[in-house]
A and B are shown apart, each in its own frame.
Chain A
Amino acid sequence: MEIRVDNVAKAFERFPALHDVSLNIASGELVALLGPSGSGKTTLLRVMAGLETPDTGRVFFGDVDASGLSVQERHVGFVFQSYALFRNMRVVDNVAFGLRVRPRATRPTKAEIRRRALELLDLVQLSGLDKRYPQQLSGGQRQRVALARALAIEPRVLLLDEPFGALDARVRKELRKWLREIHDRTGHTTVFVTHDQEEALELADRLVVMNKGRIEQIGTPDDVYDHPNSAFVYGFIGESSTVPAERKGGELFVAGRATGLRDDGPDGPAELYFRPHHVEFVIGETGLSGPIVSQRRVGGVRRLELAIDGTDRKVEIDLTSDQPLTPGTKLGFRPGRWRAY
Chain B
Amino acid sequence: MTLPRVLFVTGKGGTGKSTVAAALAIALSRRRPTTLADLDRRLSAAAALGAIPEDSTVVKVTDSLDVIAVTPRAELEAFIERIVPIRAISRRMLRSRTFGYVTAALPGLEAFLLLERLRIMGGDAALEDRYLVIDAPASGSAVELLSVASGVKGIAPAGTLNRLADSVDRFLTDATRFGAIVTMAPEDLAVREALETAAAMRERLGIVTVAAIMNCVPDLLFDTSELAALSPFGGHARLAVRRNAAHEQAALAAPRFAAAGIPTFSLPMMFTPVMGPGEVKKLGRVLDAELLDR
Asked whether A and B interact, the reply is: no
